[in-house]
Structures are given as C-alpha cells and as structure tokens.
Amino acid sequence: MPELIYLLCALTSVVCAGLLLRSYHQTGFALLLWSGLCFSLLGLNNLALVLDKLVFPEIDLSILRLLLALAALLLLLFGLIWQDD
C-alpha cells in the first residue's frame, strides 16, 4: 500500500507542475512559473522517495530528498520575494 501512495504523490506533483507551467505559458504570469518550477522539483523529490524506499532500499537517499525539497522551497520563496507585480 505505501508503494501506491508514493507513486500517486509523485504523479500528483508532476501533474500540478505541468498544469502550472502550461498556465504560465498561456498567461505569462511569473508566479505561475515559480510555482511550476517548485512543483517540478517536488516531483523529483517524490521520485527520489520512490527510488529510496522501493527501488534502492539499501541506499539512503534522504540527503538528496532533503536537498531537492529545500531547492524547491527556496525557488518558490525567491519567486515570491522578487515578484514585481
């Protein structure tokens, strides 16, 4: 059961990123870009979680997962701070 939850979380992040980036392409609103990039990195974070827990359980990828989550949140924070609208 945890495998299904990990995969659904990864899929949700990737779909959200795609929808946000598509909306940015249509409207040009910069906050959509930052949010889409954040969710892209969160999708990679979820993919790393799947790899960590399911594919390579003997290898600890927790540092990689934490760095991806930190990069995602810093990217969104940068976009929120430097937004000029």
pLDDT tens-digit readout, 17-35: 999 999 999 999 999 999 9
Do 21 and 65 form a contact (C-beta atoms < 8 A)?
Answer: no
pLDDT tens-digit readout, 18-77: 999 999 999 999 999 999 999 999 999 999 999 999 899 999 999 999 999 999 999 999
